Amino acid sequence: MTTKTLIALVDGSAYSESVCRHAAWIAGKNDWKVKIYHVMGRRAGVEKQDLSGAIKLGARTALMNQLADLDAERAKLAHEHGRAILADAKAIVVADGLTDVETRLRQGDLIETVTAKEDQGDMIVIGKRGEAAGMAMEHLGSNLERVVRSSSKPVFIANRAFKPVQKVLVAFDGGPSSLKAVDYISRSPLFKGLAVSLVFAGNDTPDIRKTLDSAAASLKAGGFQAEVIVHSGEPEKVLAQITKAEEHELLVMGAYGHSRVRALIIGSTTTEMIRSCRVPVLIMR
């Protein structure tokens, strides 16, 4: 059952604007509404505590009271900061033409929020890097892999700058998740009018060609004339090279499985894959 809702996760980092613009693009093509979430850590929302009983000396008691007041003020500022982030995020989405936009401020663990709320959405959008990563290219968002692992919905990983998508590269290996990606593309309004290429990284065999031809036929039935590419080499390197050389603006790939492509999300190869591709990545489960 579809919810016709997109969940966008923002944190105030430089990637949040890209998350919002990609969310507006995706929701606009699908005729979905957008729910924007900002999740504060538990410590950011600590309420004022009465610590005066901890130390009985007058001067130290006064100091503890001041620290308690400071904690309460920090919690208040954290909430105001979160609401400001959500207000800016909503303004970006609305400016890109969406009118049905809601915001949610939550406190706690991001993954717990995603797990609890993902049934209310059809896709999740998150930035490639978060607040803590800054602009360091070797860092990815600390929550990124956790979200992908925990979510049962497609996860769209936005890069730093939004760019209109015209060409889509699909990492294909014939496994269940890549077949699901092909079916999703053939049915989803998101991909209508876009150029789609299927790429297999590995040895060219008759069985592989047969599987690729079948996938291309499925896409053709959905209105796509897909280009088929077979390229030897390591999947993470092949996909990054083709994405750059052919100027694709989006990479679609499966999440779990036993083959190299479907196993990318499990370990360090995923980090390398997402880091090396300078385009958004849509992960299918």
- Mapped to the 3 state alphabet, what secondary structure does 85-151 carry? HHHHHHHHHHHCCCCCEEEEEEECCHHHHHHHHHHHCCEEEEECCCHHHCCCCCCCCCCHHHHHHHC
Q: In 3-state terms, what secondary structure has residue 229? A: strand
Q: What is the pLDDT of residue 256?
A: 47
Tell me which of 3.40.50.300, 3.40.50.620, 1.10.3210.10, 3.30.300.130 is the CATH number of domain 1-160.
Answer: 3.40.50.620
pLDDT tens digits, 34-47: 999 999 876 654 44
Which whole number is the average pLDDT over 104-114? 91
More confident residue, 202 or 87: 87
Q: Which of 33-47, 149-163, 183-197 has the lowest mean pLDDT?
A: 33-47
Q: Where are the domains of the chain?
A: 1-160, 163-284
**Residue 265 has what pLDDT?**
43
Q: Judge whether residue 162 has pLDDT over 70.
A: yes
Who wins on pLDDT, 151 or 216?
A: 216
Fold equal for 1-160 and 163-284? yes
What is the pLDDT averaged over residues 219-226? 95
Q: CB–CB of 133/60 below 8 Å? A: no
Q: What is the pLDDT of residues 225-274, one digit of tens each?
A: 999 999 988 877 888 888 888 889 999 987 644 444 444 444 445 556 67
Whether 50 shows a pLDDT value over 90: the answer reads no
Query: What is the pLDDT, as a whole number, of residue 262?
Result: 44
For residue 102, what are its two tokens? 């809601």
Owner of token pair 């603006």: 249
Which DSSP category does 65 fall into? H
Mean pLDDT, residues 191-219: 93
| Fold type of domain 163-284 | Rossmann fold (3.40.50)
